[in-house]
Structure 1
Amino acid sequence: MATTIETPRAPHSVRRNRGVNWEKWGWIYMRASGVVLLILIFGHLFVNLMVGDGIKAIDFAFVGGKWSDPFWQVWDTLMLWLALIHGSNGMRTIVNDYSTRPLVRKILLGAIAVSAVTLITLGTLVVFTFDPCPAGSPADLLPSFCPVNQ
């Protein structure tokens, strides 16, 4: 008695061309960025929670002092970029797997792209333009490490 297995349902046709295989590179990116993100995230957690006074030390002054160092600006920006692109690529894969209508798929993929670009842009601006000692602020509202005479 022979049993036949039906062909799996494909949500949309996959075109094979001789150009760049973006699915393969997306798969490779997910693995590579996952490894780098593990290092970045656990380094971030170790420095923020274990070094010094631990979680009690995390306040506005801690973040201001940390982001005044270019090393931590690059560290946090790299973590932001990798995490958002990694998550967006994962969402793209889910949409491609489960969205059956081409128009809905395009709308969802566009929304993912717009939100990723917006969050990456805003997050990068926050990290690199953060000023814990803005000029003209009242001295009683400034952190203790800011010079009073500005």
Structure 2
Amino acid sequence: MTTIDAPRSPYATTRTGVNWEKWGWIYMRASGVVLVVLIFGHLFVNLFLGEGVKQIDFAFVAGKLADPFWKVWDTALLWLAMIHGANGMRTIVNDYVAKPQVRRILLGAIAVSTAALVILGTLVIYTFDPCPAGADPALVASFCEDL
């Protein structure tokens, strides 16, 4: 009879409660599928519809962010991509960093930077003013002239 050695990670066994590794694995698969749809939708609208990349300027972005649908789309894209990437980085740190103190520092840096970017990105999406006061009318969206 053969025996399988215990995994080398001390975190793999003897834990009770929520299996965060399993939920992280499931999140990576589910968010990956949703991200493919969000990313290709984003690229299609920005690069293939209309005039292609030539159309992307302040007015184009302002027009998109004036629409609640695109605010939700961009927010979902931001949150899923950032958390997906951070979870991947967390997995790499857990796999390759042997010293517990260094691991804690790196995981903390990943968590802080991810939280900061998600918060700042969400603030930009929801507080963006598509019609800034005193802006050149040639540079802002066409619907700003009516305001």
TM-score, normalization by structure 2: 0.88
Matches within 5 A, 1:51-90: 51-90=49-88
- Is the 2:59–2:139 contact (alpha carbons within 8 Å) kept by the matching residues of 1? no
> Where do 4+ consecutive residues of structure 1 move more than 4 Å?
138-142
Unaligned 5+ residue runs, structure 2? none
Task: Please state how far the C-alpha of 1:134 moved relative to its aligned partner.
Answer: 1.9
In the other structure, the counterpart of 1:42 is 40
Contact 1:12 1:100 (8 Å CA) reproduced: no
Aligned to 1:110: 108
Matched residue type, 2:94:
N
Q: 1:138 to 1:31 in 2, by over 3 A?
A: closer
- TM superposition shift of 1:93: 0.2
In structure 2, what residue type is equivalent to 1:100? Answer: A
* Amino-acid identity (%): 65
Q: SS of the counterpart of 2:15? A: coil
Compute the displacement of 1:143 (Å): 1.5
CA deviation after TM superposition for structure 1 residue 105, in Å: 0.2
Q: What runs of 5+ residues in structure 1 fail to find an aligned partner?
A: 1-6
- Matched positions, count: 144
Alpha-carbon spacing, 1:144–1:112, altered in 2? closer, same or farther (3 Å): closer
- TM-score under structure 1 length normalisation: 0.87
Q: 2:140 maps to which residue? A: 143
